[in-house]
Amino acid sequence: MAEMDEPMIVDGVCGGSCEWEGRWNHVKKFLERSGPFTHPDFEPSAEALSGFRNIDVVDMDTIDVSNLNRQFLFRSKDVGRPKADVAADFINNRIPGCRVVPHFKKIQDLDETFYRQFHIIVCGLDSIVARRWMNGMLLSLLVYEDGEVDQTSVIPLVDGGTEGFKGNARVILPGLTACVDCTLELYPPQINFPMCTIATMPRLPEHCVEYVRILQWPKEMPFGDGVALDGDDPEHIQWVFQRSLERSAEFNITGVTYRLTQGVVKRIIPAVASTNAVIAAACATEVFKLATSAYVPLSNYMVFNDVDGLYTYTFEAERKENCSACSQIPQDLRFTPSSTLQEVLNYLTGSASLQMKSPAVTATVEGKSKTLYLQSVASIEQRTRPNLSKSLRELGLTDGQELAVADVTTPQTMLFRLCFTS
Amino acid sequence: MAATKGSKEQKYDRQLRLWGDHGQEALENAHVCLINATATGTEILKNLVLPGIGAFTIVDGHTVAGEDVGNNLTLSGVLALQNRAQAATELLQELNSDVSGNFVEESPDKLLDNDPEFFHRFTIVIGVQLPESTCLRLGSVLWSASVPYLVCKTYGLIGYMRLVVQEHTVIESHPDNALEDLRLDQPFDEFKNHINSYDLTSMEKKDHSHTPWIIIVAKYLDRWLNEHDGQPPKNYKEKESFRQMIREGILKNLNGVPEDEENFDEAIKNVNTALNPTKIPSAVEDLFSSEQCNNITAQSPSFWVMLRAVKEFVHSEGSGNLPVRGTIPDMIADSQKFINLQNIYREKALQDAAAVTKHVENLLQSVGKVSHMSKLCKNAAFLRVVCCRSLAEEYHVDSVNKDEITSCMDSPDSEMVFYLMLRSVDRFHQLHSRYPGVYNYQVEEDISKLKLCVNSLLQEYNLNVNIKDDYIHEFCRYGAAEPHTVSAFLGGSAAQEAIKIISHQFVPFNNTFIYNAMSQTSATYQL
């Protein structure tokens, strides 16, 4: 995340630290010279940027030894420390003049006053839920005038992700180009094994591990009552591994190893330095283009795969006309008056375009705001649970009324319009 | 400060899941040579040091300059004028104490003059930002010594890689979306017997609903063959009939409503792929007809000996087919039925591998070369061999790949134009001992000079293509800049190709890769 309020100084003084002659030679050529492929708005100048100086980094994680095969800002002495802090220290010490400010927090712990201050946001998040949240946050900052987006309220989002030898990089201009939710169907939902397979007819070593994790651990509580399975605790994994071996022996299943066990419990995705380097570089190139207008940014999605040779595919993801996040079109919920609230919740979580996780629903009934169902606070969950089996009519809801839905996939409450069908 | 095996397993866990312990071992036994610790060079090496290659040696005669500090993360903290090879070695070494780093403070040209055999010791040589003459000289030495060579260059917003390896064999290519090897069209005896041990008509519902779909398809296929004179379903209409036949086999309840039998749904869904005839992929057939496969000598690399043994197997015990792969996908079934079926395939695969091993022993009376037999048999359908042309062949007027170049240039904005521009700036450098547009005042006048180089290049190779002036202008504008983000993209790409060469897993590109950071597109050409 970069802020460029100060004009860049290319050669010469920079905060008193030693400044090499010619330090910006490589970058200068793109900022001072006009050319046939630059952005139409580009104006070459001598006082252009040299490097990004002000960067804030947000990360909720601490460093694990398994990060060290690719996360090059960290060393073994840093294991256990917050990633944001160590990354900031490293860059601040290594790059003269750079000011990185760390935030050892979840992205959701920061609000719009925080995010509003940036010119560009870059993400390397590890879940779709988090991406949707960030996407929603930037959409909530948009200012509309006469139905048109005020371009000064647009903060570009550059997003990268990798898995093994595959990766992708995309540029999102909130309110103007395809957002994360516009292309939600590109990400198929995670498939979990069916319970009956795990409970009674395992076939794969993975089924055996899931049995121990989901059924055996809660029953036996091997490390004390209420002690949850911690995928990072080798003793816990060892216990699961041994029990998984026993389970697999019962069914003549081969292939349970410690590595497989840990992979299943922690849902580990393989990762290497090279793919991450490629995608990070592509993202950084886009940040550079956005900040300098030196070139037209990626429009707007690139896919990379180097399993067999090197393959890239670049395309323009299209905005979804009725996107639940960015289209400004109120989303309809079509149900019969006798449908239950549970059915509505099932739709919110199951629909490919919404994929909510644990939606909380409120409505205005007889002039008063009423929570219909909320899962995340135990007391409210208990109180509102009976509503799930009630029909929408029973709950006092009327045709055309607004339902407000909150969920971890979006920072702002989403408004739906209830449409009764016969 | 050698790490214990346990801590290395933890550190490398995420990558071990991709290339296994044996892949990691190959990496740890490798010695990589990097020529020129520029931004591109250090980014490549960083992505090799982090995963734990055994050793690297940097060859670089330059001293750290101001512009290195501005585009090279590794060197960005350097405070005093150091020789670049040493500075980079120390800073890269610091990334991973398992790796041993060395440097030679010398230009590659000097080494080629005085001690070309210096390069013979390396597992792979990576040459970065090399002028054309040095690049070609080195290419010739490494080609004669059969040392793999990877050429990399960042030029403005363009990235370039060229892989030069004579013959690179791959047993574990790890294909995405591989077809299963189920042998439904040609069931082997043990499989046939197993199918016959099932009687779908006399099963209780629980068993019926948990019979593997492979068995279901096999049973119905039997029936179909009997009813159709031994001819399997071939076109869409017949396959639809076949699916319907299976659909009718779903148990019905007392009211005649079909029960929920997911295994039957799976069978119907898989009919198309299940009916694919078992056959040897053409890529493997090509390997079977190659010179190396048919002329086995005492010097033949083990890959070819094993491949020849597989070919012998195909023509005898295999009855025209490769050894059975031995794996089946997961499917709805109870544990016992699934495991029993899986074991049928597994045991057949073991049998076939043993038969192939006998053929290896017949070919050479030595047992030493049979260590990878089961791995080769399991991957028989996915074997790959990559042979790149030498740089000499690419550059020689008589053997230049005119067709590829001209047909790509039918689209004048294809990435091929960047290849031609890179060749042109090389030419410029040869002529003027500098690259075009390095200083602002040179940009304008160099455009026409560069254009002359472009034209002489096209003329020399008799290439009837047109290069837009915009590209010539842009390449002058670049001023041979090596921006960090483009270097980093190449850094990741090149490092992984090097890892493929070292580990013999996954498939390297063949042989020229162009990356365009302006449009975030790329292309691979065989030049």
Q: Which domain holds residue B264?
A: 189-275
**Same domain as B162, residue B19:** yes
Q: What are A325-365's pLDDT values in tens digits? A: 998 777 889 999 999 999 999 999 988 888 899 999 999 87
Q: What integer is the mean pLDDT of A372-383? A: 91
Total domains, chain A: 3
What tokens does A387 get? 């509503």
Can you tell me the distance from the alpha carbon of B83 to that of B130, in angstroms, rounded to the nearest whole number? 18
Q: What's the pLDDT score for residue B364?
A: 77
Exposure string for B400-423, b = 16+ CB within 10 A, e = fewer: bbeeebeebbeeeebbbbbbbbbb
What tokens does A217 get? 């651990």
**Same domain as B222, residue B334:** no
**Same domain as B105, residue B19:** yes
Has residue A261 got a pLDDT over 60? Answer: yes
> Is A6 domain-assigned?
no
pTM for the complete prediction?
0.91
> Is A323 domain-assigned?
no
Across the interface, whether the CB atoms of A23 and B493 are under 8 A apart is answered no
**Same domain as B491, residue B474:** no
Across the interface, which of B50, B509, B520 has its CB nearest the CB of A298? Answer: B520
**Same domain as A168, residue A60:** yes
Interface test with B, best of A168, A250, A306 (most B CBs within 10 A): A306
Query: What interface predicted TM-score (ipTM) does this complex get?
Result: 0.94
> Is A189 domain-assigned?
no
**Same domain as A229, residue A125:** no
A419 is catalytic: no
Q: What's the pLDDT score for residue A272?
A: 96
> Is A123 domain-assigned?
yes
**Same domain as B361, residue B314:** yes
Spatial neighbors of B504 by CB under 8 A, at least 6 apart, are B26, B168, B169, B170, B171, B172
**Same domain as B69, residue B5:** yes
Q: What is the CATH number of the domain that holds B506?
A: 3.40.50.720
Residues of A in contact with B47 (CB under 8 A): 273-274, 277
Q: What torsion, rounded to 10 degrees, do the Cα atoms A345, A346, A349, A351 define?
A: -120
**Same domain as A285, residue A169:** yes
**Same domain as A311, residue A388:** no
Across the interface, whether the CB atoms of A26 and B484 are under 8 A apart is answered yes
Across the interface, whether the CB atoms of A281 and B486 are under 8 A apart is answered yes
Cβ neighbour number for residue B33 with a 10 Å cutoff: 24
**Same domain as A293, residue A250:** no
- Report the mean per-residue pLDDT for chain A: 88
CB contact at 8 A, A67 and A276: no
3-class SS shares of chain B: helix, strand, coil, % to 5: 55, 10, 35
- Domain end residue (candidates: B236, B255, B275): B275
Q: What are B317-358's pLDDT values in tens digits? A: 999 999 999 999 999 999 999 999 999 999 999 999 999 999
Q: Which domain holds residue A218?
A: 195-266
Which pairs from A386-389 meet CB under 8 Å and 24+ separation?
A: A387/A341, A388/A340, A388/A341, A388/A342, A388/A345, A389/A340, A389/A341, A389/A342
Cβ neighbour number for residue A373 with a 10 Å cutoff: 22
Task: Identify the band that residue A36 occupies on the pLDDT scale cut at 50, 70 and 90.
Answer: confident
> Is B171 domain-assigned?
no
> Is B287 domain-assigned?
yes
> Is A41 domain-assigned?
yes
> Is B97 domain-assigned?
yes
With 0-12 / 13-18 / 19 or more C-beta atoms within 10 angstroms meaning exposed / middle / buried, residue A316 is: exposed
CB contact at 8 A, A79 and A94: no
Q: What is the CATH number of the domain that holds A342?
A: 3.10.290.20
CA B439 and chain centroid, separation: 40
CB contact at 8 A, A73 and A280: no
Q: What are B249-292's pLDDT values in tens digits? A: 999 988 889 899 999 999 999 999 999 999 999 999 999 999 99
Q: What's the pLDDT score for residue A280?
A: 95
CB contact at 8 A, A67 and A54: no
**Same domain as B381, residue B299:** yes
> Is B176 domain-assigned?
no
**Same domain as A58, residue A96:** yes
CA B156 and chain centroid, separation: 27
Q: What's the pLDDT score for residue B169?
A: 97
Can you tell me the distance from the alpha carbon of B48 to that of A357, in angstroms, rounded to the nearest whole number? 39
Across the interface, whether the CB atoms of A273 and B51 are under 8 A apart is answered yes
Q: What integer is the mean pLDDT of A151-178? A: 95
Total domains, chain B: 4
Q: What are B30-58's pLDDT values in tens digits? A: 999 999 999 999 999 999 999 999 999 99
Residues in chain B: 527
Where helices occur in B94-235 by DSSP H, the ranges are: 108-114, 132-144, 189-196, 205-209, 213-227
Task: Identify the band that residue A43 occupies on the pLDDT scale cut at 50, 70 and 90.
Answer: low
Q: In what order do the strands lie in the sheet with B158-164?
A: B100-104, B55-59, B31-35, B124-128, B149-155, B158-164, B512-516, B521-525
Across the interface, which of A65, A75, A201 has its CB nearest the CB of B335? Answer: A201
**Same domain as A285, residue A165:** yes
Spatial neighbors of A307 by CB under 8 A, at least 6 apart, are A165, A166, B174, B175, B176, B506, B507
**Same domain as B214, residue B77:** no
Catalytic residue among A196, A208, A323, A326: A196
Residues of B in contact with A30 (CB under 8 A): 481, 483
Task: Specify the DSSP class assigned to residue B181.
Answer: -
Across the interface, whether the CB atoms of A310 and B513 are under 8 A apart is answered yes
> Is B407 domain-assigned?
yes
> Is A211 domain-assigned?
yes
**Span between the terminal Cα atoms of chain A, in Å:** 50
> Is B174 domain-assigned?
no
**Same domain as B93, residue B140:** yes
**Same domain as A307, residue A229:** no
**Same domain as B93, residue B66:** yes
Q: What is the CATH number of the domain that holds A43?
A: 3.40.50.720
- Domain end residue (candidates: B275, B299, B331): B275
- Domain end residue (candidates: B253, B275, B297): B275
Across the interface, which of B67, B485, B510 has its CB nearest the CB of A25? Answer: B67
Has residue B520 got a pLDDT over 70? Answer: yes
Phi, psi of B34 (to 5 degrees): -110, 130
